[in-house]
Structures are given as structure tokens and as C-alpha cells.
Amino acid sequence: MSDAVLVTGAAAGLGQTIAGHLLTQGFRVVFADLNGEQAQAALEAAGGHRDNALALALDIRDPERFQQAIDQAHRHFGALHGLVNNAALTLTTPVMEISVDEFDQVMTTNLRGTFVGCQTAGRYFSEQGYGRIINLASLAGQNGGTASGAHYAASKGGILTLTRVFARALGGAGVTVNAIAPGPMDLPSVHAAVPPERMTDLLAMIPVGQLGEPGFVARAVALLASRDASFVTGATWDINGGIYMR
């Protein structure tokens, strides 16, 4: 039986691409999103069916609801083997105009949501003796962002730290925790944040001169979610066109 992976924020954008690709690679996939109806629509668009896919509504900020989602996935598939913490709130408000409430909203969704996912799934995976957690961070968390808001960048920087903390805590239980830090992707969210008149300047900042391919990020997620990825943990894989090199 193939491994089952829960993907948050799977109703649209990068999360939908990741969830759909995992299905094509033989994983059984939980399409989780704040909007359960949109998650179901994404599942159907990906060609999922009851045997290999499940859609559910999930507020990642709520530990009790996250546990319920894991329990539901376990009942449906018999086990859960991986978690992709992808759901995020992306705002581009200039730093001097961000209200405290807006800052808290972004941090609660992005950083707290990832913490809740890692902690809740980490307990479950530890009990099972196996698990793969992949956190979607961002180039913004490494260089302060190019088009994103300061609150978004700060939350993604925190995700990089949480990845290392949970990797160290869970490694002995057969659970790996890794992050992927994409740069600007060819996604509707990026085109919405960067108007056409600014896109030329953005592309000029990228050494390879183009936006990233969401499908490649999805393939990297599938690799980290595989059984073969047992010797990779606490790592951040940069997919940023050379904007940030280390």
C-alpha cells in the first residue's frame, strides 16, 4: 500500500500543484484547506477518488482540528505517513503600514500553523515510528523578501528555524523534517503581487532570468516525502533561481 500524505493549502496555487503531483507519483493524498469545498474541487480536478484521495476542511491554527484531520486521514487510509505544511497567508503591505493585527494574522497563520502541524503530526509519526514532514518556507525568510511583506518574510524565517528544531527532536523516532525555500514562482499569487510594470525589474534580479516552475517544487516535495529520503533532515532546499546563494 502506498504512503499517505496530508497537504495543507491544497485547494489552489502551489499546494494544489504539490497535492496533484503526489497523486501522480502513487501517493495517497489528503487535500486539506480552510475551504473544504475548494479542497474537494481540487481533488476532483486532479483525478482523485476515494481509494487514493480525501478532501477535508482544516484550520491549521487550531491544534484540536489538526489532530482531528490526522485522525480522519488515519481512519480513511489506515495510516498517515507524511505532512506538507504549505498553507500560508501572503500579504505585501509595506512594512511601515503593517498594523499589529495584520502582523499577528500572518504570523498566526504561517508560523503558528506550521508549528501546530509539526507538533501534532510529529507526535503521531513518532508513535508510528515513521514520518516525513516538509515545510514550505520561502526565499523571503532568507533575504527579507523581494515583493513580500515583512510579516510574511518573518514568518518564513521562523519556519526555517522550526524545521531544524523539529528535525533534531524527531530524528530518533524515524521522522524527518525538512524545508523547501522557493523564490518567485510562476503562480497567480506572484503575478498578483508583482504588477506587469514591475515584472521586468523582478526578472532582472534573478540570475537565471525567469520565474520558478511550481511543478519542480512539487517534485522536490515528492522526493523528500519518499522512503528513500531517510538521510535528509533539518535541511533547507533552495529553489530560487540563484537570488540567494550559500
Any idea which residues carry the catalytic annotation? 152
Which residues are CB-neighbours of 22 under 8 A, at least 6 positions away? 5, 7, 29, 218, 221, 222, 225
Residue 173 gets which letter from DSSP? G
**Non-local CB neighbours of 223 within 8 Å, separated by 6+ positions:** 229
How many helices (H) and strands (E) in the chain? 10, 7
Residue 83 in 3-state DSSP? strand
In terms of Cα–Cα distance, which of 173, 5, 160 is closest to 76? 5
Other C-beta atoms closer than 10 Å to the C-beta of 2 total: 13
DSSP state for residue 233 in the 8-state scheme: -
Helix (H) or strand (E) run with residue 8 in it = strand 4-8
Q: Provide CB contacts within 8 A for 75, sequence distance 6+.
A: none
- β-pairing, 175-182 vs 236-239, is parallel
